Structure 1
Amino acid sequence: MHVPDGFINAPVSAVTGVVAAGAVAVSLRGARRELDERTAPLAGLVAAFIFAVQMLNFPVAAGTSGHLLGGALAAILVGPFTGVLCVSVVLLMQGILFADGGLTALGVNVTDMAIVTTVVAYAVFRGLVKMLPRTRRSVTVASFVAALLSVPAAAVAFTLIYAVGGTTDVALDKVATAMVGVHVLIGIGEAVITALTVGAVIAVRPDLVYGARGLQQRLKLRVNGELVDTPAAAPAAPVAARSSHRTVWITGLVTSLVLAGFVSFYASASPDGLEKVAKDKGIDTRTKAHASEDSPLAGYGVKDISDARVSGGLAGVIGVGVTIVAGTGVFWAVRRRRTADSSPAAVPEGV
């Protein structure tokens, strides 16, 4: 759903740019409360994983494909504020290095793909978690539903933005019907990927899943006909916890590299939902050339490498590496700012 340059006029692009910048600023502040020494590296990994999985377009209808948006996955794994930052980092890397998503449309893409998906998904997720039994399975189920609904919500948001700032005269009812229809199908794929990923992390380290915090339920034993809480388990040793955390991080990184560097070669070549609708409805008639079209990595391939498999795989690996470095740098900086703000020297006298 990456919006290219030319779809939305300059005034609306500028307004969405201001909205996106404001949301990122708020998220930087909110992420201080979500990130700690365990989740800061995980947040960078989540950004890299989203980048990798977005390269895996899957078929959803005849001549149409879809890919992960990632807002739901990021919000549930590392928190809604950090989730907005994760997806924003991915969009920035894609726009600058890979010519995917217009640079003048960056505000539109951040608003639609980072803000709307994250806010809608996390609101749905929290509502479901409060109603469902307090179990790990409920977190996975809630993740599925939240991700499923977040994608058509982004399609509706794009339609509204296009209604205000679209550069072509197209019947909006037809655009809305086409966008929502195809993105409901894409949402199913998003939901499956999100639920599987969240479920996998919960199975290994539930304490690392932001959306699962506080949901662990004490087991009960029947003693003399009455149910009593089992004794609390002793906390894991620091060394064992660090080792387990390192295992999760390495596994996630290797998975991201394999997906981007190898599996992406077998992704669907059909246009994604927005591209298909834009072509069918004539929205793309005023598409402008991308400012980064001469980038060595434009189009998710390495310039001057003729072998498509090697070119695409190497571009994917570079993308994962750049994204995880950029993301981890941002999140560690936010984490260090939180530490500085909470240090005794940062507290005024008399407080």
Structure 2
Amino acid sequence: MHIPDGFISAPVAGVTGLASAVALVIASARSQTAFGIRRAPILGLTTAFIFAAQMINFPVAGGTSGHLAGATLAAIVLGSPWAGMLCISTVLIIQAVLFADGGITALGANILNLGVIAVWVGWILTQTLQRLLGGSRTRLPLAAGIAAGISIVAASVACAIELVLSGTASLAVVLPAMTGVHILIGIGEGLITGGVLFYLATARPDLLPGEQQQFQGWLVPVISILLVAGVLSLVASGWPDGLERVAEDIGFIDLAEQVRIQVPTPFADYENEALGAISTSIAGLLGAVVCFGVAFGIAKVVKPKNA
């Protein structure tokens, strides 16, 4: 659901950019007292994993694919929606700047949709469902999985509204199209989120908030991230994602080619002609390393006041 340049108007881009900037400033300040942000390695690993996982598009239906957004997953693993906002926003900024994935002018809208709305919808619903399910830690994967799927639909509704306000498409057409395809993508989001949390809860509880377990080491999470970024990314579905499919069906896909602002990068769209078939793997590994480094640095800079 990465909006490219050209899909939204300048006023919408400006308003969403301002809103996202304010949200991130608040998130940075609030993260000084958030539990998750205290663990710089966890923020770095989570951000790197989500970047890597977003490279793997899975087929859903009708020649359409989706990928993990990770908004709910980030908030739950980090124990704070504020830290989750910083995590997802870091991924989106690096994707746009280094890999031309998502428009530079649409960066504010993408952060608002995925880094703010999806994070908070996923977080609030998870807490609510946890209480309804009795509050057991064993029910967390189920609660978070359901919340994650709904958060994707919420983000797609926000995206549809932005397209309508930009005059790109009519509400009666784009809203049902966006929500329909992202309900299917949300199912995949929920399954992946629940699966990852189930694994963490049983095998690596030190990576989840709660009791102050001692960090058990880097080896397994680092190898997992490298495998996802460098190997699994090679078998990702080549079908267009939900937003691209809707744009093709409704007829505004060409707007992305008419207005494209790209920062000079050797890995635009995660490809490099000189490197050939391995360029996607190298781009994935590079992105994961950069995401980890930036997020780790953010955690060190925006640290608790009593640290």
TM-score by length of 2: 0.94
Match of 2:5 in 1: 5
Contact 1:159 1:175 in 2 (8 A): yes
| SS of 1:60 mapped into structure 2 | strand
After superposition, residues 196-345 of structure 1 pair within 5 angstroms as 196-206=195-205, 208-210=207-209, 213=210, 241-242=214-215, 244=216, 246=217, 249-287=218-256, 288-292=258-262, 294-306=264-276, 308=277, 310-335=278-303, 338=304, 341-342=305-306
The total of aligned residue pairs comes to: 305
Q: Which residue of 2 aligns with 1:171?
A: 170
**2:66–2:241 contact (8 Å) kept in structure 1:** yes
Structure 1 vs Structure 2 CA RMSD: 1.8
Distance 2:198 2:39 in 1: 17
Runs of 4+ in 1 over 6 A off after TM superposition: none
3-state SS in 1 of match to 2:302: helix
Local SS of the residue matching 1:342: coil
Q: What secondary structure, in the 3-state scheme, does the structure 1 residue paired with 2:268 have?
A: coil
Once the two structures are TM-superposed, the CA of residue 284 in structure 1 deviates from its matched residue by 2.1
2:280 and 2:181 mapped to 1: Cα distance?
Answer: 27
Opposite residue 146 of structure 1, the aligned amino acid is A
Deviations 1:40-72 (A, max 9, x none): 210111111010000000000021000011101
Q: CA deviation at 1:134?
A: 2.9
Cα distance in 2 between the residues matched to 1:5 and 1:163:
15
Give how far 1:192 is off.
Answer: 0.8
1:59 matches 2:59: yes
Q: Determine what percentage of the aligned residue pairs are the same residue.
A: 40
The equivalent of 2:70 in structure 1 is 70
> How far apart are residue 171 of structure 1 and its match?
2.9
For structure 2, which runs of at least 5 residues remain unmatched after alignment? none
The offset of 1:135, in angstroms, is 2.0
Q: Which has the larger radius of gyration?
A: 1
Q: What is the CA–CA distance in structure 2 between the aligned matches of 1:38 and 1:11, rounded to whole Å?
A: 37
Show CA shifts across 1:240-277 (max 9, x none): x24x1x2xx43222111111111111110000000000
CA contact (8 A) 2:87 2:295 kept: yes
1:106 alignment counterpart: 107
Aligned mates of 1:100, 1:129 — CA distance in 2: 34
For the 8 Å contact 2:76–2:123, the answer to whether it is kept is yes
CA deviation profile, 1:191-225 (whole Å, cap 9, x unmatched):
11111111111113435423xx37xxxxxxxxxxx
**Equivalent residue of 2:60, what SS?**
strand
CA contact (8 A) 1:97 1:297 kept: yes
